[in-house]
Amino acid sequence: MPASMRRGERHRYFIFSRRGWTDRAGRFYANVHITRFDGGADLTENAASYVCGVADAPLLGDTIGHSLDQAARRWADREALVSPSHGVRWTWKELNEQVDALAAGFLALGLERGARIGVWSLNRPEWTLTQFAAAKAGLILVTINPAYRLSELEFATAKVGCAAVVTATAFKTSNYMEMLNMLMPELAKARPGDLHAARLPQLRAVIQVGGPIFPGTLPFEEVARMGGARHRDTLATLAKALQFDDPVNIQFTSGTTGSPKGVTLTHHNILNNGYFVGRAMRLTEQDRICIPVPL
């Protein structure tokens, strides 16, 4: 609130937000215009917008990584992820161990806190690993619609400045690797992890899920083996430094009436959305959820 609006003043105000925006750190700001009805000068101020209402259940104040660690300790031997078509049945402990290995691998690639990493694939275990590993490494996951064509892919990855992309090889009529090579002909001759492409200058690594492996890409399994003790130590430090209101995900609107618009979500957004949906459905750790729609 502007300093001129001190307690005890007998003015009446009409307040409305003229516009809002999100900075590079993911914080939302509103440009607030305040009109005085007594004829005094109007006021305009830019301020961080953070509103918390009253609820019968408190909001979770954890990061995604911390919540996964808690689940792995609490239900270590209970199944966490099942994908019959990929032959996967991971317990919470196994899932968490694979997530930590991949997160350390992301750090070994040179990805730093706040970097954007895209995922372009239909549902598969590697998608889930990428989401959790990115959160633990302090990265921002950019979810790329698996139905995107070349122009939409270029727009989304360039808009947010992805430093790495985790991609499937192909699915039905969508040949993801073929489109990436059309967009970045430099990929075929690049050293894996050291890409320099004219149309996507910030992209350094293409991580491929499934085969055959294309030149210039890093196999997904190899990335999980790249992290060492130093990177594990960095993960431990990040676990203490990351905040629940740090940005962790960028999603794009469908773009029906124009180019897709990016929306930034925090750990706080995602955890509490899932938590309260689960409460409303009265889900417990005994329940299983089938996810047929694209993640």
Q: Which CATH number characterizes residue 137's domain?
A: 3.40.50.980
Range of the domain at 18: 13-48
Tell whether 135 is covered by a domain.
yes
**Number of domains present in the structure of the chain:** 2
> How big, in percent rounded to 5, are the helix, strand and coil portions of the chain?
35, 25, 45
Total length of the chain? 295
55 lies in a domain? no
Query: Strands 247-252 and 140-143, how do they pair?
Result: parallel
Mean pLDDT of the chain: 86
Q: 137 or 256, which is more confident?
A: 137
Q: Are residues 229 and 119 in the same domain?
A: yes
What percent of the chain shows pLDDT beyond 70? 81
Chain center to CA of 33: 32
Q: Which two tokens stand for residue 6?
A: 């001190």
Has this prediction a pTM greater than 0.85?
no
Dig out the tokens for 47 from the structure.
Answer: 């301020």
- Tell me, yes or no, whether 38 and 126 share the same domain: no
Which pLDDT tens digit goes with each residue over 212-255? 999 999 999 999 999 999 999 999 999 999 999 999 999 998 76
> Does 288 fall in a domain?
no
Sequence-separated (6 or more) residues with CB below 8 Å from residue 188:
181, 214, 215, 216
Residue 177 in any domain: the answer is yes
Both 30 and 176 in one domain: the answer is no
| 275 and 155 together in one domain | yes
Task: State the average pLDDT over residues 48-68.
Answer: 81
Q: DSSP alpha helices (H): ranges in the chain?
A: 64-74, 92-108, 125-136, 150-160, 176-183, 220-224, 229-241, 267-280
pLDDT over 90 (residue 4): no
- pLDDT confidence band for 32 (50 / 70 / 90): low
Same domain, 122 and 182: yes
Asked if 164 and 20 sit in the same domain, the reply is no
Give a yes or no: residue 293 inside a domain.
no
